[in-house]
Amino acid sequence: MPHRTRSAAPLPTLTADTLVLADFGPRARRPPGPYRRLFARPGTRAFTLGNLIARLPMGMFSVSAVVMIAGSRGSYALAGAVTATGLAATAAVAPRVARMVDRYGQARVAVPATLFAALGSLALVLCVRSGAPDWTLFAAYAATATTPNTGGMSRARWAHLLAGEPEALHTANSFEQAADELCFVLGPVLAAVLCGTFFPEAGTLTGVVLQVGGVLLFAAQRATEPPPSGRTGHRAPWRAAGMPALLAVCLATGAVFGATEVVTIAFADGHGHRTAAGVVLAFQAAGSGAAGLVYGALRFSGPAAWRQPWCLAAMAALLTLPLLAAALTGSLLLLAGALLIAGTATAPTMITTMTLVQERTPEGRLNEGMTLAVTGLLGGIAAGSASGGWVVEHLSPTAGYGVPVTAAAVALLIALGTAG
């Protein structure tokens, strides 16, 4: 009987990958985190970069306008009136621009709308520099209302790319909210530095360059752009089921932001540290941004409608901390810490609210629905600023911290009253 020899098994080939696995074991096989998976999708990094550049000026223009107008005309009242007029114009025009974006496409509408708004900003600079009549300042700043809602367009792209992937969309919405917080923190600081270091118009001019350049880069990413919806038979977003209550929650939430800003400035001014108000407010935004990123990495089994009241309740509860810090200590340092903690409830609340807006907005009108939510926030900011200012003037800055607590409680009651 012939002797059989067993063939030797082939030796494994060593590659860079097997060496890495051998060196690091299970750690090398660890799956990527949710944000890394999010931006591994083709085209997402490019449109996000363009959108962030375009979004940064949203925190620059109002501060730049106030510094520029007050410095040349010697009137903060005039500067405030001009920026308030621009806010009112934005509330009226922005939803219409968003409707056109949905109907005709982001690139086709956003680029000319941004260029028109840029011309308004440049006209404001020329009117201020040339000593034109005051009414021209109002007209020029009102023209900037055609600025498209870049944050809403970015969220619409994520909703288009992540259709059917609620967990990934939750992560994307969380990133977008953190980006909003970052822009609102860096924008005013950048504007103040530019206007103070170079010349009063530097903030506005830099904002125009960033806005136009960012929108052009964003619009050039056509592969990730949602298809235009054309004319749809769907009802207006504000008439959709559940949307009126959401917009009312946005209005009350905006009042939290507006009141907190005015009251904090007044509180710092009353303690002889008005210039520190921006730093103190930055703590709140930092807490919100960090919480937003953490919130986006979590996974939830329940619907967003169930989470919203809990987020609002947390925001209302944590907003009592700045009130207690102001009333019991009067310390700006402790107030900053209290605002940092209170801010951790802001981003989860906004992320959950925007998720509900996405869910309840009729198909083909997402940009319009998002912009209506932002318009509600802006209206609430204006109302909160006025209410907080009234309480500060007639009572005290410490009492003013009761306004954001009240506004958050109102938002919670609205959500509870319309649940289900």
Domain holding 376: CATH number? 1.20.1250.20
Cα distance between residue 345 and residue 40, in whole Å:
29
**pLDDT score for 262:** 79
Report residue 275's pLDDT band, with 50, 70 and 90 as the boundaries: low
- Taking residues 245-257, report their average pLDDT: 90
Which DSSP string corresponds to 342-358? HHTTHHHHHHHHHHHHH
Answer whether residue 24 is part of any domain.
Answer: no
Q: Do 354 and 344 sit in the same domain of this protein?
A: yes
Report residue 60's pLDDT band, with 50, 70 and 90 as the boundaries: confident
Report residue 7's pLDDT band, with 50, 70 and 90 as the boundaries: very low
Higher pLDDT, 302 or 305: 305
**Which run of H or E residues covers position 420?**
none
Q: Do 246 and 223 sit in the same domain of this protein?
A: no
Query: For 379-415, what is each residue's pLDDT tens digit?
Result: 887 788 778 888 888 888 899 999 999 999 999 999 9
Of 231, 249, 282, which residue constitutes the final position of a domain?
231
Q: Do 312 and 199 sit in the same domain of this protein?
A: no
**pLDDT score for 75:** 79
- For the chain, the average pLDDT equals 83
Query: For 337-384, what is each residue's pLDDT tens digit?
Result: 999 999 999 889 988 888 888 888 887 777 788 888 888 887 887 788
Cα distance between residue 167 and residue 154, in whole Å:
17
Domain span at 200: 42-231
By C-alpha distance, which of 104, 100, 136 is closest to 120? Answer: 136
By C-alpha distance, which of 249, 379, 357 is closest to 311? Answer: 249
Q: Do 282 and 412 sit in the same domain of this protein?
A: yes
Answer whether residue 252 is part of any domain.
Answer: yes
Answer whether residue 218 is part of any domain.
Answer: yes
Secondary structure class of 395 (helix, strand, coil): coil
**pLDDT score for 24:** 46
Q: Do 218 and 154 sit in the same domain of this protein?
A: yes
Place of tokens 């660890």: 30
**Which run of H or E residues covers position 13?**
none
User: For a pLDDT cut of 90, what percent of the chain falls above it?
Assistant: 35
- Taking residues 183-195, report their average pLDDT: 78
Q: Do 419 and 317 sit in the same domain of this protein?
A: yes
For the four alpha carbons of 250, 255, 256 and 258, in that order, the dihedral sign comes to positive
Whether the pTM exceeds 0.85: the reply is no
Report residue 22's pLDDT band, with 50, 70 and 90 as the boundaries: very low
Report residue 15's pLDDT band, with 50, 70 and 90 as the boundaries: very low
**pLDDT score for 42:** 92
Query: Hey, what are 142's tokens?
Result: 């009102």
**CB–CB of 346/250 below 8 Å?**
no
Of 231, 255, 280, which residue constitutes the final position of a domain?
231
Domain count, the chain: 2
Higher pLDDT, 29 or 1: 29
Of 181, 207, 231, which residue constitutes the final position of a domain?
231
Q: Do 251 and 345 sit in the same domain of this protein?
A: yes
> How far, CA to CA in Å, does 269 sit from each of 27, 195, 262, 274?
52, 21, 11, 4
Cα distance between residue 273 and residue 258, in whole Å:
20
Secondary structure class of 413 (helix, strand, coil): helix
Answer whether residue 8 is part of any domain.
Answer: no
Higher pLDDT, 266 or 108: 108
Residue 4 clears pLDDT 80, i.e. is over it: no
Q: Do 198 and 57 sit in the same domain of this protein?
A: yes
Report residue 281's pLDDT band, with 50, 70 and 90 as the boundaries: confident
Residue 322 clears pLDDT 80, i.e. is over it: yes
Answer whether residue 259 is part of any domain.
Answer: yes
Q: Do 221 and 75 sit in the same domain of this protein?
A: yes
Residue 280 clears pLDDT 90, i.e. is over it: no
Q: Do 258 and 378 sit in the same domain of this protein?
A: yes
Residue 301 clears pLDDT 80, i.e. is over it: no
Q: Do 336 and 413 sit in the same domain of this protein?
A: yes
Cα distance between residue 313 and residue 368, in whole Å:
28
Answer whether residue 236 is part of any domain.
Answer: yes
Residue 212 clears pLDDT 90, i.e. is over it: yes
**CB–CB of 218/50 below 8 Å?**
yes
Q: Do 127 and 139 sit in the same domain of this protein?
A: yes
Long-range contacts at 189-192 (CB < 8 A, ≥ 24 apart): 189/278, 189/282, 190/56, 190/60, 191/59, 191/60, 191/61, 191/63, 191/64, 191/67, 192/63, 192/67, 192/278
